[in-house]
Amino acid sequence: MKQIFLSLTLSAVAFVTGCNAAPTNSPAARNNLTNTNSTMKFPLQRSEAEWRKILTPEQYHVLREAGTERAFTGKYWDTKTLGEYRCAACGEILFKSDDKFDSHCGWPSFSEVVAQGKVIEHKDTSFGMVRTEVLCANCGSHLGHVFDDGPGPKGLRYCINSASIDLADTNAPSWKPAEKK
């Protein structure tokens, strides 16, 4: 009976957390995360205080603390609007709407990155799982994870937090990251 209860509990946790699990802020949990500017260097460098001024609290949690939003709650999980998806922290173009698809996971999903070198894929062993974390190659911000169960010839599914990206009209040359509200 205990095994059945444990199995049901673990299944419920997996369903609720989906492809992104929100880490705790404990030092032990943070040590398993790859998204720290102290271990990796990126072209755009800002202090955590500067990031806090630029980003909303939700964006900061997702982008800088490798957090996640709940499934089916982000602003882009179901949008069909055309345009480019940019890093919400630095404005780097990461994905195109042409590559977005409905994976039924509750987060925006893309079959590929706009160009090679725009993201960094890094092994993530947090929460007893082995996943591939996706970081913005320009600023090091956590975007989500990539899985090998997607469509197309590459078979990839970039499962990305809505809070980590901004949808920009491709005809908007003066686009910049959203200001804190």
Backbone angles phi, psi at 63, to 5 degrees: -75, -40
In a domain, 30, yes or no: yes
Rounded to two decimals, the pTM is 0.76
| 93 inside domain | yes
Q: Total domain count for the chain?
A: 1
Other C-beta atoms closer than 10 Å to the C-beta of 168 total 17
* Alpha helix ranges (H) inside the chain: 2-17, 27-31, 48-54, 57-65
Has residue 10 been placed in a domain? Answer: no
Is residue 12 a part of any domain in this protein? no
Q: Which residues contact residue 28 at a Cβ distance below 8 angstroms, ignoring those fewer than 6 apart?
A: none
Question: What was the pLDDT predicted at 127?
Answer: 86
Tokens of 42: 């990126």
Pick the catalytic residue from 87, 90, 139, 159: 159
Q: Is residue 104 part of a domain?
A: yes
- Identity of the residue numbered 133: E
| Residue recorded with tokens 């070198």 | 117
What's the rounded Cα separation, in Å, for the pair 125 and 102?
26
Q: How confident is the chain (181 residues) per 10-residue block, as mean pLDDT?
A: 46 43 35 47 94 97 96 94 96 96 95 96 92 97 96 93 91 54 50
* H-helix segments, 25-178: 27-31, 48-54, 57-65
Q: Is residue 64 part of a domain?
A: yes
Whether 75 is in a domain gets the answer: yes
Q: Is 159 a residue of the active site?
A: yes
Burial 38-75 (b: 16+ CB within 10 A, else e): eeeebebebeeeebeebbbebbbbbbbbbbbbebeebe
CATH number, residue 131: 2.170.150.20
**Predicted pLDDT of residue 10:** 40
Question: CB neighbours of 149 closer than 8 A, spacing ≥ 6?
Answer: 155, 157
What per-residue confidence (pLDDT) applies to 86? 97
Flag whether 160 is in a domain: yes
Q: Which domain holds residue 53?
A: 20-168
pLDDT of residue 171: 62
Closest CA to 138 of 85, 89, 84: 89
Give the closest residue to 71 by CA, choosing from 12, 19, 32, 125: 19
User: 178 burial class (0-12, 13-18, 19+ CB within 10 angstroms)?
Assistant: middle
The pLDDT of residue 180: 55
